[in-house]
Structure 1
């Protein structure tokens, strides 16, 4: 078959296969054009999940009459005046509009800034008609109808209208975070209305809360860092404020929303030993970098980027998030407190109704048992069982089981001393230790002022031989003793391991691992870094490396598998974390087995010492497995349970 040149219509349809994947792709391209035009108000209307209708209206600068036909021709753009090294706009390829016009019916109505009239063009099956006069006060209206009607193979692979509408909403939300000063409105018969009002430039968290959720603002720390002219800002959620998927991770490079594998990997690495496996952090990060140091022309969808120095950016993301978490101190997620409140109030998950009973006397609408008249005892089934005679003795306040909290008898009247409250008789007296001991913490009877000196308060009780109940200035804290001590031991082990070069174990016979030539080159380039972790290797001819020493803490390990995992990580992410992650896993296992176990009764000074060390240890809000180590209940929440507010 001879070589022929494809016609423009077929070329546009081929390009549309990469640019226009689904209705959400169309909305993304049209929104980027509107934002590049300086729009401050954007309205999106859809029908049939975007397959029947997509209409985007903006108040931007508009398109002049003599440029309307150029706008729907391939590789025609006004955004590359500085070349590919200085891209300052969201769009730049000049492929979106002609690609959309080749697979749908496209109309563009626009009134350029300062023009007296508006004009409209129509594109169908690659043919352009117009421009002709139209009625429009300002801005641009782009309407796309019957998407993929001429490409039925693509149409049948689309999802339901509801799913496509949700994808469009997600596109709008992601762009709205990067442009908080723009008002976005999404409506249509196939969806519920979404309105995101413009917010001031000095309140970026307001727009983020509108998109991610109000709880995020309460469970996030601010990120701000700089390294070698690369700026990172945004907000990162606490490790205990996680999600079951990565949809709540919003990453932007120079204002462009991206789904870059390296950046997502860096975000996961920052939470590597603070979050449970299978859970994902919530974060909104903005990377600002010189356009010459990043390539956004990787894919027509413009969702991937390539950095000139990916390790610099990765290190900045990981380091900034970890430093921000350390500076934030010990903080618990409000989600855990809300879950506990729900269980207390009866709204949380519970077991099978047939196997457990619940007291509903205080539930809304339930009968007030205290006000219900009692039946005559003579008619009761228990009337034939008379109560046994009990020996009567004079009341002794010092020995009474139900004595008042503020006992008003002399200390000598009780062998345990005065003011014992609800303390068990077998429990040792609460002794916080010497007043000068830093680990003792405030004593339980020293008052609210002393308790407020520490974020986790002072220990009041040890429940179920594991949980520490502490009182703070404005609430209560319930600490999982084993999980908290596990994190503390783990951090001490890591500090001891990484504070100096990790001890290595020399192999009697070097282990030679065969690898593809490229993988062997990547590993040997990182040989110096790997040596600090106890893994010493060198090149052993073409396509092989010889491992001479391995980290001693790993013991007997599968060297070949370890080296191949390293090679895969270096090829995909440009960094090798397999050795460090395995060392951390061993340290986490030692910490888990070496921490205080459930069932050991802690003394008051031990509990307070644990609380003080938690406050001084970064990441102590979760254990090594990602479970929360404590839950905080505010006084207002407790009062609400009893109807006091």
Structure 2
């Protein structure tokens, strides 16, 4: 080890910076595509070979770079996108001037470009940080950048890359993420010589059409549009209904001022907005676009520019939670059509198409003995013995009863499912799940509509905490009082708890108070106890709802349907499962070959 301090070489500095900016091939593609977008490109083509390890090539038709600036482009912290004296108003995706020199330091790098309006283009090569001489290029438009042998001279970085399949999947995910928000640009992705994705540009209703192209029509059909503003911030986009969700957050496309981000504040707000609808292991699918004034947003948090900081975090959180909750509340009975499609396809696949059948009269005559009543056991089955009867009684349905959104009940099967007839099909309702949501909403209205009753503690309990926890809890004494938690500050290291929410029954006071103080420190809000009460409401609703296995008569079934129609969020139970599925009459007729 040397004893004296030395200044690192430019190439070593770039390689160190590359460790933060360039994590994997998808990071390279992201930086190059963002440069193309900043250059006002209308068409961007990406070519991938060997999952990005062998080659990543990006070609655009943007404004291009002239000869002098092309040399400067590979120097560290050189950029055309930022006023040298102002970091508060960043209107481009790139601004740090680190990406190109970082990429060039860890790859066999080549860039060709022609400035718009000029006749001659130029090319510059760099072999793992060793920049060559600039030379003329045959390029006629825009910019072309090719990155080969990524991490070849840094085998430790190469070793920690995932399998080819995983790295390719990450490249595709990044391509989709950048394509959605730039719907006015055509994107093409070629992998190992084969075109994998091609998203055409749109001039009108572009964002929704691009979302449909990228995320899929199934999501589009099971989504709700949101659009709202609060202060200087606004939000718009499409959010998935709760019954259309996934087991991970990979399908959440979040943008701030046109920049794809992965931000804890935003994802936490989304989870909070869906907390009443989804269990913790399910994630909503969505694509949302948040816009704020550039001066109230800090994007210079991390070199990869995926994290942001808001000047007014509370306003952003309130905007996200409020907009999503309002949209979900307004969606009413809407539930995912995926389950209906699954039922239709399942039944359809079990019945061959009518075109496969050919009635042969001669065959029927010759083999009539095979189908004779003496040979058949069908007549021996008494279909009126109750074995095949519905659980509940059936009844005739008048057309006036079918005008309701959920139609009119005709039967109960397996003592848990209500069959309802509508004007254009039939609906199958899970009676327990449906009533669970109804009871849950009623309990919530009773609890949150007025202060919650507190259960006095016979012998007040002293809870010892650190000074920071005491300080935070002291700021919310009145809020907790409304929620039924009564306490006083004893000294700088303890509080005296005099009462707990009556709904909680017996509770571990020490654990409750410590959890609340920790959550308040982490989340900086007073919603933790309400969240706990939501879980209590859910448990009460589950025990207080109509149980599976209970027989209902027609009046009870119809009463349940009418309640569902006026209950918020009745399309799913408290755990995010659908309460009903619908089969359209046209699909039923298709199953039986009538269409």
**Fold match by TM threshold 0.5:** yes
Q: Matches of residues 430-445 of structure 1 in structure 2 within 5 Å?
A: 430=395, 445=397
TM-score, structure 2 as length reference: 0.91
Residue 25 (structure 1) aligned with residue 27 (structure 2): yes
Contact 1:222–1:236 (8 Å) recurs in 2: yes
Paired residue for 1:90? 93
The 3-state SS of whatever aligns with 2:132 is: strand
Paired residue for 1:635? 585
CA-CA distance at 1:521 after TM superposition: 3.9
Contact 1:361–1:369 (8 Å) recurs in 2: no
Show CA shifts across 1:565-611 (max 9, x none).
Answer: 33443444433543222211111111111111223332323222221
Structure 1's unaligned 5+ residue stretches are 348-359, 389-399, 403-422, 431-443
The total of aligned residue pairs comes to: 584
Using a 3 Å threshold, how does the CA distance of structure 1 residues 161 and 191 change in structure 2: closer, same or farther? farther
Residue 582 (structure 1) aligned with residue 532 (structure 2): yes
Q: Higher helix fraction: Structure 1 or Structure 2?
A: 2
Aligned-partner Cα distance in 1 for 2:391–2:72: 88
Aligned-partner Cα distance in 1 for 2:171–2:539: 44
The 3-state SS of whatever aligns with 1:287 is: strand
Using a 3 Å threshold, how does the CA distance of structure 1 residues 51 and 533 change in structure 2: closer, same or farther? same
The 3-state SS of whatever aligns with 2:204 is: coil
Deviates more, 1:238-247 or 1:517-526: 517-526
Show CA shifts across 1:480-538 (max 9, x none).
Answer: 111101100000000110001222234432332323x5444444444443333223445
Paired residue for 2:53? 51
Aligned-partner Cα distance in 1 for 2:371–2:254: 73
Residue 187 (structure 1) aligned with residue 190 (structure 2): yes
Aligned-partner Cα distance in 1 for 2:370–2:397: 49
User: 2:178 aligned to 175, 178, 182, which one?
Assistant: 175
Using a 3 Å threshold, how does the CA distance of structure 1 residues 596 and 374 change in structure 2: closer, same or farther? farther
Contact 1:566–1:577 (8 Å) recurs in 2: no
Using a 3 Å threshold, how does the CA distance of structure 1 residues 103 and 495 change in structure 2: closer, same or farther? same
Aligned-partner Cα distance in 2 for 1:255–1:475: 43
Deviates more, 1:467-476 or 1:257-266: 467-476
TM-score, structure 1 as length reference: 0.84
CA-CA distance at 1:425 after TM superposition: 12
Using a 3 Å threshold, how does the CA distance of structure 1 residues 338 and 381 change in structure 2: closer, same or farther? closer
Residue 111 (structure 1) aligned with residue 114 (structure 2): yes
Residue 155 (structure 1) aligned with residue 192 (structure 2): no
Aligned-partner Cα distance in 2 for 1:373–1:524: 91
The 3-state SS of whatever aligns with 1:130 is: coil
User: 1:455 aligned to 378, 388, 405, which one?
Assistant: 405
Residue 623 (structure 1) aligned with residue 573 (structure 2): yes
Contact 1:562–1:578 (8 Å) recurs in 2: no
Using a 3 Å threshold, how does the CA distance of structure 1 residues 426 and 461 change in structure 2: closer, same or farther? closer
The 3-state SS of whatever aligns with 2:253 is: strand
Aligned-partner Cα distance in 2 for 1:565–1:538: 17
Residue 513 (structure 1) aligned with residue 467 (structure 2): no
Aligned-partner Cα distance in 2 for 1:77–1:5: 23
Paired residue for 2:79? 77
Contact 2:392–2:411 (8 Å) recurs in 1: no
Show CA shifts across 1:614-635 (max 9, x none).
Answer: 1221111111122110001111
Deviates more, 1:581-590 or 1:216-225: 581-590
CA-CA distance at 1:549 after TM superposition: 3.3
The 3-state SS of whatever aligns with 1:625 is: coil
Aligned-partner Cα distance in 1 for 2:88–2:353: 68
Residue 142 (structure 1) aligned with residue 145 (structure 2): yes
The 3-state SS of whatever aligns with 2:12 is: helix
Using a 3 Å threshold, how does the CA distance of structure 1 residues 379 and 461 change in structure 2: closer, same or farther? closer
Contact 1:183–1:196 (8 Å) recurs in 2: yes
Q: Matches of residues 82-481 of structure 1 in structure 2 within 5 Å?
A: 83-189=86-192, 193-346=196-349, 375=367, 377=369, 430=395, 445-447=397-399, 450-451=400-401, 453-481=403-431
Using a 3 Å threshold, how does the CA distance of structure 1 residues 572 and 426 change in structure 2: closer, same or farther? closer
Contact 2:51–2:165 (8 Å) recurs in 1: yes
Using a 3 Å threshold, how does the CA distance of structure 1 residues 376 and 343 change in structure 2: closer, same or farther? closer
Show CA shifts across 1:216-268 (max 9, x none).
Answer: 11111101111112101101111111112111111111111111112111111
Using a 3 Å threshold, how does the CA distance of structure 1 residues 538 and 26 change in structure 2: closer, same or farther? farther
Paired residue for 1:614? 564
The 3-state SS of whatever aligns with 1:273 is: coil
Contact 1:87–1:291 (8 Å) recurs in 2: yes
The 3-state SS of whatever aligns with 1:29 is: helix
Aligned-partner Cα distance in 1 for 2:468–2:157: 38
Q: Which has the larger radius of gyration?
A: 1
Aligned-partner Cα distance in 2 for 1:55–1:565: 51
Using a 3 Å threshold, how does the CA distance of structure 1 residues 344 and 124 change in structure 2: closer, same or farther? same
Using a 3 Å threshold, how does the CA distance of structure 1 residues 119 and 546 change in structure 2: closer, same or farther? farther
Structure 2's unaligned 5+ residue stretches are none
CA-CA distance at 1:543 after TM superposition: 5.6
